[in-house]
């Protein structure tokens, strides 16, 4: 099989899969598959509700890409690239069901000499130990004889229009030396930033899971410093600015750690580590610190309200931002919800405004509202949780307009000129 003449199927058309499908569709025939029928309908109409691919770009490749929710329509493809989510369950253990289901579906239509490449974040060993057996069972084919596998970790940064799929260097790997070269050559067709061919699938899997584990640990250190400096009455951001004058200081800022990667990937690595008998104390401690930041911020909000002479029960509190990061509609594993949950438990009434989220969405814990600046409602406290460009444009007058009596502004993102308290 010649890579250049391959027909490619992308399994999963979310934040990762759709940009990848569009990139490949510029040079290859592509079939994009997703189990969400409404998602397929939107894409067929040229609409991407993740805002990762604009309508013009999507339209430019429509002659080379087919969208479907029927796995049978992917039959005949040469290469399958899996980009389904790999979340954690409510006990922080890896939930591999989406990956297993995808592997079963591919196996049902797998042909001889096909290559299945996984991009979903996993712990080392998942491709060979979990996915391959499902492919073999469903297809009746033999791994590394009848079909082959690769792993190339996704590095998409949702909402980032600079670091897009094609200009982020890509780690590649394959189940045999020959297949590894084919996988690497495949991605070289679209990745302008270049590729790095790993020596094995397991190395490639591990490289991905430590990227975000490292970031999680580093942010945990800054968050713990913020907890310490708050007790001392010292502005953490001023400390960081001073320390950052040294050439080798890594400048990070405190905050919530959520999203589909940083808040999840460390649990994949720690799960595997504990399986083989090693307790990853540092990784788990970092997760504990970062997971506790929402409660800490909620507690500070309540304390500042009390200082201002405000009653917490039945008070109105406005949360500005719900997504896990700025300027994107992605709410997966957002830790803003931790703040909301704590404040809700205190008896306050919580309104959430996020210009990137549909205001018609319903939630039992809080109300998603339309632009509060065009409303007469006043709030006893305002928590600036996400640094959307819309919120960066807010002025002191805007906060005065939204505030009831003495304003209480809790600034998590360091974007308010004169907050009551800043993380």
In the block, residue with structure tokens 């033999």: 142
pLDDT value at residue 156? 80
In the block, residue with structure tokens 């490449």: 117
With beta carbons less than 8 A apart as the criterion, state whether 412 and 381 touch: no
Active site members: 261
Run of H or E including 1 = none
pLDDT value at residue 50? 84
pLDDT value at residue 330? 87
With beta carbons less than 8 A apart as the criterion, state whether 119 and 20 touch: yes
Phi and psi angles of residue 291, each rounded to the nearest 5 degrees, phi first = -70, -20
Q: Is the dihedral of CA 82, 84, 90, 92 positive or negative?
A: positive
- Rounded CA-CA distance 229/237 in Å is 10
With beta carbons less than 8 A apart as the criterion, state whether 109 and 69 touch: no
pLDDT value at residue 363? 75
Give the burial class of 167: count Cβ atoms within 10 A of its Cβ; 0-12 exposed, 13-18 middle, 19 or more buried: exposed
Domains and CATH numbers, the chain: 3-199 (3.40.50.720), 209-290 (1.10.1040.10), 292-422 (3.40.50.720)
Q: Is the dihedral of CA 406, 294, 233, 415 positive or negative?
A: negative
pLDDT value at residue 159? 73
Strand-pair partners of 31: 9, 66
Q: Which bin fits 395, alpha (ψ -120 to 50), beta or left (φ > 0)?
A: beta
Instruction: Name the residue among 152, 14, 38, 151 with its Cα closest to residue 87.
Output: 14
Give 369-416 as a 3 state SS string.
CCCHHHCCCCECEEEECCCCHHHHCCCHHHHHHHECCCCCEEECCCCC
Q: Which alpha helices (H) appear in 114-174, and where do they start and end? A: 126, 132-139
- Rounded CA-CA distance 40/48 in Å is 10
- Rounded CA-CA distance 72/106 in Å is 9
**Could you tell me the two tokens for 196?**
């790095």
Q: What is the mean pLDDT of each run of 10 residues along the chain (423 residues)?
A: 85 94 95 95 90 88 94 96 93 95 97 97 96 98 97 84 86 97 96 96 96 95 96 94 95 90 92 96 97 96 96 96 91 93 95 88 82 94 96 95 93 94 94
HSE toward the beta carbon, residue 212, CA cutoff 13 A: 26
């Amino acid at each position: 099989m010649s890579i250049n003449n391959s027909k490619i199927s992308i399994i999963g058309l979310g934040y990762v899969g759709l940009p990848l499908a569009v990139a490949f569709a510029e040079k290859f025939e592509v079939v994009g598959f997703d189990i969400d029928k409404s998602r397929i309908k939107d894409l067929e109409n040229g609409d991407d509700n993740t805002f990762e691919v604009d309508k013009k770009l999507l339209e430019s490749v429509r002659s080379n890409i087919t969208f479907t929710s029927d796995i049978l329509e992917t039959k005949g493809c040469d290469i399958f690239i899996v980009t389904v989510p790999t979340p954690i369950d409510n006990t922080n253990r890896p939930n591999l069901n989406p990956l297993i289901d995808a592997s079963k579906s591919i196996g049902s239509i797998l042909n001889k000499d096909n290559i299945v490449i996984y991009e979903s974040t996993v712990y080392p060993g998942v491709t060979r130990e979990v996915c391959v057996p499902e492919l073999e069972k469903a297809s009746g084919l033999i791994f590394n004889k009848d079909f082959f596998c690769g792993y190339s970790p996704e590095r998409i940064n949702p909402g980032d229009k600079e670091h897009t799929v094609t200009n982020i260097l890509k780690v590649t790997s394959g189940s045999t030396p020959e297949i590894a070269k084919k996988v690497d050559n495949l991605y070289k067709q679209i990745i302008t930033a270049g590729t790095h061919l790993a020596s094995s699938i397991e190395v490639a899997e591990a490289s991905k899971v430590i990227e975000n584990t490292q970031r999680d640990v580093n942010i945990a250190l800054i968050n713990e410093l913020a907890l310490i400096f708050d007790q001392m009455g010292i502005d953490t951001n001023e400390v960081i600015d001073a320390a950052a004058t040294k050439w080798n200081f890594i400048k990070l800022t405190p905050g919530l750690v959520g999203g589909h990667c940083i808040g999840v990937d460390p649990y994949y690595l720690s799960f595997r580590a504990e399986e083989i008998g090693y307790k990853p104390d540092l990784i788990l401690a970092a997760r504990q610190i970062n997971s506790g930041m929402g409660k800490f911020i909620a507690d500070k909000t309540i304390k500042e309200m009390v200082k201002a002479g405000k009653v917490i029960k039945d008070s109105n509190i406005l949360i500005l931002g719900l997504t896990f990061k700025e300027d994107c509609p992605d709410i997966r594993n957002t830790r803003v919800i931790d703040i909301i949950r704590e404040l809700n438990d205190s008896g306050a009434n919580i309104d959430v405004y996020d210009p990137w989220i549909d205001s018609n969405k319903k939630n039992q814990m809080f109300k998603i509202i339309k632009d509060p600046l065009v409303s007469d409602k006043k709030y006893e406290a305002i928590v600036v949780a996400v640094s959307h460009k819309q919120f960066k444009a807010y002025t002191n007058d805007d906060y005065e307009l939204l505030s009831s009596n003495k304003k209480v502004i809790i600034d998590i993102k360091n974007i308010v000129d004169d907050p009551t308290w800043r993380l």
